[in-house]
Structure 1
Amino acid sequence: MTGRPVLTIRGLDVDYGTGTHAVHALRSVDLTLHRGEVLGLAGESGSGKSTLAYAVTRLLSPPGVITGGDVHYHPPGQDPVDLLALSARELRAFRWQELSIVFQGAMNSLNPVHTVHSQLTDVLQAHRPQSRAAERTARAEELLTLVGISKDRLSAYPHQLSGGMRQRVMIAMALALEPEIVIMDEPTTALDVVMQRQILRKLVSLREELGFSVVFITHDISLLIEFSDRIAIMYGGRIVEEAASADIYRDPRHPYSDGLLHSFPALHGPRRELTGIPGSPPHLTAMPAGCAFHPRCGKAFAPCASHVPVLAGPPGEPDRTVACWLHRTPPAA
């Protein structure tokens, strides 16, 4: 991807708790989101995907704490903004205006005792207090139409909408102030496959129309292969591979990426055996030494058990990175 960066994350560390009992949830995460792209973030439950999203947006709940690293937003034609240095007031103005998030579970994210109209216009009133009520209503109608919902549903309560419609209301709310970045944290997990595809196609068309950038978080790598430009694979709180989605699909370099790809059936082409990944992800309080994946990896060899591989580009491939000793010379024993 050659576009300019809109969000850069460097060396991000997140712990839950402090002192000797702290759980290291993110470890030296580096990631770049380019302007106008869809960046997929995949991995099993517990790999650190949602923690990364909440750290970037400064929404970590106690005892979560950012212990190191930098997160910078790059507005067009302006100096980078250090998100970790923003005050509470600056952060409140920044969220939804420049960066918004669609949370897991629309039914739990929408207030059940307020109408769709009330919840959409509240966002507009909070960030644009000078706007008039009629203008906010017109914008709410426009937003619903944008995501394929009739504007007469503005008066509905969340329980009167289907799961797919509630999720689209959440997307509309995230786009209300035309942010540069939208983070989507497993927004289609509770929906059936048909509705997942409908919402993702709508998201892609909106991205092309409005030009925002997307971080799409899911455990379902098959969704990312179809809808994202690049994919970053997380395991044990680290990025273990990052590449264009087509490259990940055709030729995954990390054994964990390959295991994820062989955990779902192909919809086209010849049949292939589903091999999956043996074992379970490591508990963050008892991470194995060396490469965190080596106890489950069929290609592990001696250095994997003692040395943590660095995320770097394989020789001759500048557009992808992988953290695996199979693709670089391991350190001497």
Structure 2
Amino acid sequence: MSKPVLEIKGLDVDYGYGPGAVRAVHGVDLTLHTGEVLGLAGESGSGKSTLAHGLTRLLPPPGVITGGEVLHHPENGPPADILAMTPAELRSFRWAQTSIVFQGAMNSLNPVHTVAAQLTDVIRAHEPGTTRAGRLARARDLLRTVGIPADRLDSHPHQLSGGMRQRVMIAMALALRPRVVIMDEPTTALDVVMQRQILRQLVALRDELAFSVVFITHDLSLLVEFSDRIAVMYGGRIVEQAPARALYRDPLHPYSDGLLHSFPALHGPRRALAGIPGSPPDLRAVPPGCPFAPRCPLVTDACAEAPVLAVPAGHEGRSVACHLRPAARTTV
């Protein structure tokens, strides 16, 4: 395993203050390694986007980080805690070291500015010594890198297709060659053909530019195809982590198994879609014990106590929070 580039330790995120606060992310521990694509899966409301916004300190009010550390490991020198950075340090850190591709490119791009203006603005803000001609040349190269003709620099966002707008967002995220790119459901509004095209291009760019990716989506089938490792979230907690192929072949948590069987198989014999009964938990009143117990087909009396994320016996390199899997050791 390569060295870590980003470590999340015990991250807690609340919405609101005092006794009425809702905990949307609960004690999350994750490590992203150099050159890795880490998939983050779960239903809507499971805490995926809140986690992404929390670790980059982009939480809108009333979101507040109440605990934990987010350590960025530079190529040289000691790690830095993103949560302890000053506003000036954050400004220089974002986009240069860690960038984010938000969900919905049409809402992320400024509709009254051209693609050229938005790409060169990122470069000018972080590298004020560059010339206008140099910034435009880099913007052309960025568009070509993501498969868009350079003559679209003068286009406005509404003059581009959905797939091209999303590629512009990826180009903007790569403008300063960051070491970490966080992608928050970037292909949700695109058709399946365009999804695959963009993701294949993303993996090729990862191999060429050597950056790491946190890819967030509710579509576990996409993650199995394009991720190196997958973390599954439920009710603001990580309930399973595993290499992508291992999770696909043998999901250890009943929730992961339910997510996999909620999508039709593209190959092999036909099978019935099982789905997951019930609804995600109300974070204002999370049930005691295992949060998935009210929806779990394999619930037992032991589920009245909350399980701990641990390495199950016989499954080194994986972790799961489920009483059905006896722990060999905890992950802490």
Normalising to structure 2: TM-score of the pair? Answer: 0.98
Which residue is 1:24 aligned to? 23
For residues 90 and 326 of structure 2, what CA distance do their matches in structure 1 show?
A: 41
Letter in 1 for 2:310: A
Q: Distance in 2 between matches of 1:96 and 1:172?
A: 11
Cα distance in 2 for partners of 1:30, 1:86 equals: 20
Output one character per residue of 1:185-204: Cα deviation in whole Å (capped at 9) or x when no partner.
00000000000001001100
Identical pairs, percent: 70
Q: Which residue matches 1:286?
A: 285
CA distance in structure 2 between the partners assigned to 1:11 and 1:307 by the alignment: 20
Partner of 2:151: 152
1:273 to partner: Cα distance? 1.6
1:12 is paired with a residue of what secondary structure?
Answer: strand
Partner of 1:326: 324
Shift of 1:158: 0.2
- Structure 1 ranges of 4+ moved more than 4 A: none
Deviation at 1:316, TM superposition (A): 2.7
- Measure how far apart 1:265 and its partner are: 0.6
Secondary structure of 1:313's aligned partner: strand
Q: Which residue of 2 aligns with 1:311?
A: 309
Which amino acid in structure 1 is aligned with residue 146 of structure 2? V
Match of 1:275 in 2: 274
Give the 5 Å matches for 1:170-185. 170-185=169-184
Q: Distance in 2 between matches of 1:328 and 1:83?
A: 35
CA distance in 1, matches of 2:321, 2:271: 26
In structure 1, the residue matched to 2:120 is 121
Q: Distance in 1 between matches of 2:178 and 2:58?
A: 17
Query: 1:132-211 alignment to 2 at 5 Å?
Result: 132-211=131-210
For residues 214 and 4 of structure 2, what CA distance do their matches in structure 1 show? 13
Alignment partners' CA distance in 1, 2:247 and 2:88: 40
Q: Does 1:99 align with 2:98?
A: yes
Give 1:220's aligned residue.
Answer: 219
Q: Give the secondary-structure state (helix, strand or coil) at the position aligned to 2:29.
A: strand
Corresponding residue of 2:330: none
2:254 maps to: 255
Q: Give, in angstroms, the shift of residue 77 of structure 1.
A: 2.1
Give the C-alpha shift of residue 275 in structure 1.
0.4
Partner of 2:55: 56
Q: Which secondary structure does the structure 2 equivalent of 1:52 belong to? A: helix
Three-state SS of the structure 1 residue aligned to 2:204 is helix
Separation in 1, partners of 2:28, 2:22: 16
What is the aligned-residue RMSD (CA, Å)?
Answer: 0.7
Which residues in structure 2 correspond to 1:227-266 (within 5 Å)?
227-266=226-265
Q: Which runs of 5+ in 1 are unaligned?
A: none
**Quick one: distance in 2 between partners of 1:147 and 1:115?**
17
Instruction: Measure how far apart 1:303 and its partner are.
Output: 1.6
1:318 is displaced (CA, Å) by 2.1
Looking at structure 1, the residues matched to 244 and 12 of structure 2 have their Cα atoms a distance apart, in angstroms, of 26
Residue 262 of structure 1: CA displacement?
0.2
In structure 1, the residue corresponding to 2:311 is in which secondary structure?
coil
- Give the TM-score of the pair, scaled to structure 1: 0.97
Structure 2 residue ranges without an equivalent (≥5): 328-332
